[in-house]
């Protein structure tokens, strides 16, 4: 358990906590006093049928989705009760860096997407008495959790919108994630997970950021100098003032926990490896929303899965920022697409 | 200067050597007794107008192009005098690992694409008395050298076919190459270039291979299990029996020399940064041949440059192996396309 000022309400708040007690993981470990950090917008109506669940992406927090929410928009807090739930390992919910022994630091157990979704289900049913979800929507690992929700709780989830993510991780994506994790674990400062400050792993976290710079964006993003979208004046500033400091503020073991989870995301674990059968279980109306320039969740991978989902459509989002389009750097150009599709989905 | 059994005629031969003497580099350094390793096929005709030059790609050698050459094919040794020239730093020509002091190992000077092409020009004019080149063709860094040839010696080069490469390296590609180099330099065994055996850098070279696994191929390559093209039975075998051993046999400083050169490839250095003017100088007939699934030399980047070349056409090659399509893993499916385009180009 170590201090890291990045994972605080000053940076990512406000948020609340829900304590699950001892939470048994699919892989066999237990997280004692497993805690989910969450944030809500709007009010749960009496029928309890205006619920939107948003799970977080790799390295992200509930804060990242604030730009997706607003009056008059698809995710309208005047109409919906929106719950953003931080995934386990993201630094706000139970994570390697904030857990005491016996699961502190590198002793933190392996967590799966399915563990997150079971934990989230327990939380919203127990705490709010929710039995129906109008929409689950999330980007990247948030999309992985969205798929898991729709397959695992088909009666409960009425609509689902996985953005820039897959139901079953691809081999290529697994290998990409591997390079991200190796950038961290190859740093002698990581010390097999036993550092005393994330700063000791600054070099590895910097290389981790550099790999994101290649795969997270697009060739065209750089050609058109679209790093300006992130408020910087040069590609060097994009690297050294945005990307590297962003990841260097994070906890290495937290990233490794999320990365392993991402690599192993696969709804077909519920159907003995049969992806078609797993996706065929979905009863929700689904808009599958890949980003056209995404280098590791490319539209064709998402489209292949979409065809297995009974009541679904492919709605491809255009963003020159590739996977990092999720950050909303393209502003209204991006959010107008998201809102248009989600409004239509919510009207169905 | 250290021993490395990978860079021998047993593995990559046969080849010959040409000694340039002291070769002054554009960046200011000198390579004493600068040596180019090369291999030839066919016979130089009396008019000396049947010459085809092929420069090598990153980490590759003259051996790699043997599958591009054959009787009845475009690169026909019965018709053409084909000279494959190993780039400086590739381990067969003058390189960090095989150079004595004062330029041994990490003291090896920075070499540019332009240095290679000037050295190659010196070699073929001096040694063979060649004044006209029917075709320059090469893949990846071989394409970079092909562009340099066509811009630097516009009267001499009659035809050019850059495959899967650019005339000016893109920012995205620069950042990709940076991750490759960092995989090596982050290994403590690299020791700032002062290792006693490349085996001390096996971990870094392995991570280098892992990044290639992501960017060198394509998402679809893995989905369709096309690693079978490389003679292996699983993706694990593709990584551990093909890719990692391939790069772990190489010299780290050699790869760093080639990588830096790749990052800085830019024909517009001859025209004060004006790429349109540089490419406008080309008098050769040019077929620009990107590979459709290439993740870092994508067709749109190549097409943008092609439009600046007066007498040129875009001829996109289809290969699910992405950039590694160059290796010819798809066999006739790949080579038939290459041969068809090159035959047409040579007939113009």
> How far is B159 from B124, CA to CA, in rounded Å?
17
CB < 8 Å to A295, chain B: 295
Q: Give the Å distances, CA to CA, from A158 to A118, A134, A167, A304, A311.
A: 17, 5, 17, 22, 11
Please give the residue of chain B at the shortest CA–CA distance from A178: B210
Q: Say what the pTM is.
A: 0.96
A105-160 per-position pLDDT tens digit: 999 999 999 999 999 999 999 999 999 999 999 999 999 999 999 999 999 999 99
pLDDT at A175: 98
Residue from the list B172, B204, B214 with its beta carbon closest to the beta carbon of A176: B214
- By DSSP bridging, strand A35-41 and strand A16-19 are antiparallel
Residue from the list B171, B188, B239 with its beta carbon closest to the beta carbon of A222: B171
Enumerate chain B positions whose Cβ falls within 8 A of a Cβ in A: 170-173, 175-176, 178-179, 182-183, 186-188, 203-204, 207, 210-211, 213-215, 217-223, 235, 239, 295-296, 298, 300-301
Under an 8 A CB cutoff, do B186 and A204 touch? yes
**Interface size between A and B, measured as CB pairs under 8 A:** 88
3-state secondary structure string across chain B:
CCCCCCCCHHHHCCCEEEECCCEECCCCCEECCCEEEEEEECCCCCCCCCEEEEECCCCCCHHHHHHHECCCCCECCCCCEEEEECCCCCCCCCCHHHCCCCCCHHHCCCCCHHHHHHHHHHHHHHHHCCCCECEEEEECHHHHHHHHHHHHCCCCECEEEEECCCCECCHHHHHHHHHHHHHHHCCHHHHHHCCCCHHHHHHHHHHHHHHHHHHCCCHHHHHCCHHHHHCCCCHHHHHHHHHHHHHHCCCHHHHHHHHHHHHCCEHHHHHCCCHHHHHHCCCCEEEEECECCCCCCCHHHHHHHHCCCCCEEECCECCCCHHHHHHCCCCHHHHHHHHHHHHHHHHC
**Assigned CATH for A9-169+265-347:** 3.40.50.1820
pLDDT at B177: 98
Measured in whole angstroms, how far is the alpha carbon of residue B296 from the centre of its chain?
15
Is A294 one of the annotated active-site residues of the chain? yes
CB < 8 Å to A301, chain B: 219, 223
CB < 8 Å to A228, chain B: none
CB < 8 Å to A186, chain B: 183, 186-187, 203-204, 207
pLDDT at A165: 98
Percentage of the residues of chain A whose pLDDT score is greater than 70: 100
Mutation target vs B (from A165, A169, A175; most B CBs, 10 A cutoff): A175
Residue A54: count other Cβ atoms within 10 Å of its Cβ: 26
Please give the residue of chain B at the shortest CA–CA distance from A168: B223
Measured in whole angstroms, how far is the alpha carbon of residue B101 from the centre of its chain?
26
Q: Give the Å distances, CA to CA, from B138 to A271, B4, B159.
A: 48, 26, 12
pLDDT at A329: 86
The nearest CA of chain B is from the CA of A243 a distance in Å of 13
Residue from the list A178, A183, A214 with its beta carbon closest to the beta carbon of B176: A214
Under an 8 A CB cutoff, do A214 and B179 touch? yes
Of the candidates A62, A114, A140, A319, the residue annotated as catalytic is A140
pLDDT in tens, chain B (348 residues): 999 999 999 999 999 999 999 999 999 999 999 999 999 999 999 999 999 999 999 999 999 999 999 999 999 999 999 999 999 999 999 999 999 999 999 999 999 999 999 999 999 999 999 999 999 999 999 999 999 999 999 999 999 999 999 999 999 999 999 999 999 999 999 999 999 999 999 999 999 999 999 999 999 999 999 999 888 999 999 999 999 999 999 999 999 999 999 999 999 999 999 999 999 999 999 999 999 999 999 999 999 999 999 999 999 999 999 999 999 989 999 999 999 999 999 999
pLDDT at A257: 98
Is A114 one of the annotated active-site residues of the chain? no
pLDDT at B244: 97
Under an 8 A CB cutoff, do A207 and B296 touch? no
Tokens of B225: 């299990």
Is A197 one of the annotated active-site residues of the chain? no
Which SS3 state, helix, strand or coil, does residue A309 take? coil
What's the Rg (C-alpha) of chain B? Answer: 19
A277-315 per-position pLDDT tens digit: 999 999 999 999 999 999 999 999 999 999 999 999 999
pLDDT at B329: 86
Residue A154: count other Cβ atoms within 10 Å of its Cβ: 13
Tokens of A150: 């729709």
Model ipTM value = 0.95
**Assigned CATH for B9-169+267-347:** 3.40.50.1820
* Backbone phi and psi for residue B30, each to the nearest 5 degrees, phi listed first: -135, 140
Domain boundaries, chain A: 9-169+265-347
Residues of B annotated as catalytic (active site), given as ranges: 140, 294, 323
Report the mean per-residue pLDDT for chain A.
97
A228-260 per-position pLDDT tens digit: 988 899 999 999 999 999 999 999 999 999 999
Under an 8 A CB cutoff, do A179 and B210 touch? yes
Of the candidates A115, A187, A266, A294, the residue annotated as catalytic is A294
Of the candidates A62, A323, A339, A341, the residue annotated as catalytic is A323
């Amino acid at each position: 358990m170590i201090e890291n000022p990045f994972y605080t309400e000053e940076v990512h708040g406000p948020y609340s906590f829900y304590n699950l007690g001892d939470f048994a993981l699919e892989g066999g470990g237990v997280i004692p006093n497993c805690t989910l950090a969450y944030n809500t917008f709007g009010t749960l109506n009496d029928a309890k049928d205006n619920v939107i669940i948003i799970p977080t992406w790799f390295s992200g927090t509930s804060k990242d989705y604030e730009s997706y929410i607003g009056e008059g928009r698809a995710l309208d807090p005047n109409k919906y009760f929106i719950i953003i739930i931080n995934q386990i390992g993201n630094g706000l919910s139970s994570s390697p860096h904030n857990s005491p022994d016996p699961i502190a630091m590198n002793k933190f157990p392996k967590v799966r997407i399915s563990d997150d979704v079971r934990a989230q289900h327990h939380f919203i049913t127990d705490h709010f008495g929710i039995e129906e979800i109008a929409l689950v929507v999330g980007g990247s690992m948030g999309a992985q959790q969205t798929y898991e929700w729709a397959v695992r709780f088909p009666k409960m989830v009425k609509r689902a919108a996985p953005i820039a993510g897959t139901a079953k991780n691809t081999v290529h994506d697994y290998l990409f994630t591997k390079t991200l994790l190796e950038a961290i674990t190859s740093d002698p400062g990581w010390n097999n997970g036993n550092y005393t400050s994330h700063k000791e792993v600054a070099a590895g976290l910097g290389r981790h950021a550099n790999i994101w710079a290649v795969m997270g964006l697009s060739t065209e993003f750089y050609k058109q100098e679209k790093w300006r979208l992130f408020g910087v004046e040069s590609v060097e500033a994009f690297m050294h003032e945005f990307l590297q400091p962003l990841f260097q503020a994070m906890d290495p073991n937290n990233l490794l926990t999320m990365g392993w989870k991402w690599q192993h995301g696969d709804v077909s674990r519920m159907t003995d490896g049969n992806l078609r059968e797993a996706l065929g279980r979905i009863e929700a109306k689904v808009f599958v929303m890949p980003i056209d320039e995404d280098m590791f969740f490319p539209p064709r991978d998402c489209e292949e899965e979409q065809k297995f989902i009974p009541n679904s459509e492919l709605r491809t989002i255009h963003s020159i920022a590739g996977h990092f389009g999720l950050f909303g750097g393209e502003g209204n150009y991006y959010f107008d697409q998201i809102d248009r599709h989600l409004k239509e989905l919510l009207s169905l």
